Chains A and B, each alone.
Chain A
Amino acid sequence: MERKSPKIEGVDVTVTPLPGLGTQQEFTTGSGRRIGVITHRDGRIELIVSDAQDPDKICAATELTGEETSTLANLLGAPQLVGKLTEQQREVTGVTTWQLPLVPGSPYDGRTLGETEMRTRTSVSIVAVIRDGSVHPSPRPDFVFAGEDLVVMVGTAEGLRAASEILENG
């Protein structure tokens, strides 16, 4: 059982060979549960989460396809992006970042970003749109919104409230 521990952004990742089967990479969360990935010899990838009572045991394991893996990575990575943006905006007093859902059936469901005239009406900037777990950074005015998009916006609190009103009611 060779255990190597490369550090990824301050988290200890343990690599354990599973002889005859593949490799397991995992880390332990602050709450004491192990989360990891088993890469089988034939390339199959399995996501594992350890049991809350018995950390030695796995309570959930599911096989993921290549596409599913990248979707999951994006889903988990998106809030990171918003977090980083918030961090960057913190310097500028009074400016914050919001992440708002575009509900299906919103007046802008199926219309372009340009049509919202967001910047003119509220001075809020739309910096990214997250759709199906993948991030579309700096969307252009011809970007077409769809229901369940997550719209990441930067602006003043007042402007953002107005912007959310616009996205919801037009």
Chain B
Amino acid sequence: MQHTATALIELGAVFFGLGVLGRLAWRIGLSPIPLYLLGGLAFGQGGLVPLTGIEPFTELASEIGVVLLLLLLGLEYSASELVTGLRRSWTAGLIDAVLNAAPGALVALLLGWGPTAALVLAGVTYISSSGIIAKVLADLGRLGNRETPVVLSVLVFEDLAMAVYLPILTALLAGVGIMGGLGTVGISVLVISLVLVLALRYGRYVSAVVDSPDPEVFLLRLLGAALLVAGVAARLQVSAAVGAFLLGIAISGSTATNASRILSPLRDLFAAVFFVVFGLNTDPSAIPPVLPFALLLVVMTTTTKFLTGWVAAARQGIRRMGRARAGAALIARGEFSIVIAGLAVGSGAVPGQLAALSTTYVLLMAVIGPVAARVVEPVAHRVVNTVAGSRS
């Protein structure tokens, strides 16, 4: 009884603290993710106030957080949007993948962490945070801007890339080796195509399994289906995250829209726990040694994302200021970088310092992204004026 009371008090304090941090973050126009991570660092091993007794709950809750993050990522775009996105933006998507995965891979190899860690860090630096970006674009009133569809289509491509990347990563983390890895590439591409065809042709049947006019029943069925699929996927060594993601893609139409609405608060809750737990499991004393590399990655990948947005917007005939806005908007990294790092660290196949490096990197990028999106216009104006001034 005494134990339950302590656990409730600790959990309550953690959630309340996160709530205060989250409010503070959005007030100043930032994503709460870095603050959640900092919260985790403060509570964890070697932190200020070590929490004890709630680990069984927080560990499971953080797993559910990953499942919900990926399920909602899958729900975010309809199958037809994914297919159109792939057809229209594959060049920009490929530029994005090459430019932004390379710095992560290079730094991991530089640190001598091996090819698997290189693939992990490539994913961490590649994937933008669609959550932060969508929120920032809406807050800044940029949804109607001409560069916004370009930004969104890059995010759609990243979404699809995740569907191929995650199964491969899972296989490699499980120690399949390069040849086995190539096999999984084939299998995952096949599975993704199958799920897309299924969603396009028979999406309503998949949707019908979970759909219900009653919100309570709908929520239970959705959550049940997500955890079932995730659990079975984990049993089959495909990772829970991938299972949830594919289920998200397969659910379509109005069911998908309703599902995102109904699951968003739940996702926010469990994802917050996930970020805190990731922070908890990161040893703060491991951060200083990797800090220079984190800063190096920040500089490199801020530049490469900016270039990606610039080039993608230029290809659509958008003017310079719009290209700059598109570039700055894409910079933010967040939830999915942590998901990738979390999968890797959890498997034990990569050095523990990778957690410290990823935490530091995402802490910085989740702050820099929204700030960059905000200041890009005044800065660009000043640059243009200086250039014009020096010419005259």
Question: At the interface with chain B, which of A52-60, A69-77, A82-90?
Answer: A52-60
Inter-chain CA distance A34–B318, complex, in Å, is 14
Q: How far is the CB of A79 from chain B (nearest CB, A)?
A: 25
Q: Nearest chain-B residue to A21 (Cβ)?
A: B143
Is A20 a contact partner of B153 (Cβ separation < 8 A)?
Answer: no
**Bitwise interface map of B from 148 to 176 toward A, beta carbon under 8 Å scored 1, else 0:** 11101101100000000000000000000
Is A57 a contact partner of B145 (Cβ separation < 8 A)?
Answer: yes
Q: How far is the CB of A109 from chain B (nearest CB, A)?
A: 41
Is B319 a contact partner of A54 (Cβ separation < 8 A)?
Answer: yes
Cβ of B130: which chain A residues have Cβ within 8 Å of it?
20
**Bitwise interface map of A from 1 to 45 toward B, beta carbon under 8 Å scored 1, else 0:** 110000000000000111111001010000000101010011000
Given contacts A36-B144, A46-B143, contact A20 B81 (CB under 8 A): yes
Inter-chain CA distance A41–B146, complex, in Å, is 19
Q: Is A164 an interface residue (CB 8 A)?
A: no
Q: How far is the CB of B173 from chain A (nearest CB, A)?
A: 29
Q: Is B248 an interface residue (CB 8 A)?
A: no
Inter-chain CA distance A2–B144, complex, in Å, is 15
Given contacts A1-B153, A21-B134, A21-B152, contact A58 B84 (CB under 8 A): no
Cβ of A18: which chain B residues have Cβ within 8 Å of it?
143, 148-149, 152
Number of interface residues of A (CB under 8 A): 24
Cβ of B319: which chain A residues have Cβ within 8 Å of it?
54-56
Q: How far is the CB of B256 from chain A (nearest CB, A)?
A: 9
Cβ of B77: which chain A residues have Cβ within 8 Å of it?
19-20
Number of interface residues of B (CB under 8 A): 31
Is A19 a contact partner of B261 (Cβ separation < 8 A)?
Answer: no
Q: Is A116 an interface residue (CB 8 A)?
A: no
Q: Is A48 an interface residue (CB 8 A)?
A: yes
**Bitwise interface map of B from 86 to 105 toward A, beta carbon under 8 Å scored 1, else 0:** 00110000000000000000
Is A19 a contact partner of B321 (Cβ separation < 8 A)?
Answer: no
Is A1 a contact partner of B88 (Cβ separation < 8 A)?
Answer: yes
Inter-chain CA distance A13–B316, complex, in Å, is 18
**Bitwise interface map of B from 299 to 330 toward A, beta carbon under 8 Å scored 1, else 0:** 00000000000000000101101100100000
Give residues 104-119 of A contacting B (CB, 8 Å). none
Of the candidates B88, B142, B150, B152, which one forms a contact with A20 in the assembled complex, judged by CB atoms under 8 Å apart? B152
Cβ of A122: which chain B residues have Cβ within 8 Å of it?
none
Is A2 a contact partner of B145 (Cβ separation < 8 A)?
Answer: no
Is B84 a contact partner of A42 (Cβ separation < 8 A)?
Answer: no
Given contacts A1-B88, A19-B155, A20-B152, contact A55 B143 (CB under 8 A): no
Binding site for B on A (CB under 8 A): 1-2, 16-21, 24, 26, 34, 36, 38, 41-42, 46, 48, 50, 54-58, 61
Binding site for A on B (CB under 8 A): 76-77, 81, 84-85, 88-89, 130, 134, 141-150, 152-153, 155-156, 257, 261, 316, 318-319, 321-322, 325
Across the A-B interface, give the 9 residue pairs with the lowest CB-CB distance, nearest first.
Answer: A48-B144, A56-B322, A58-B144, A56-B146, A19-B81, A20-B76, A1-B149, A19-B156, A19-B152
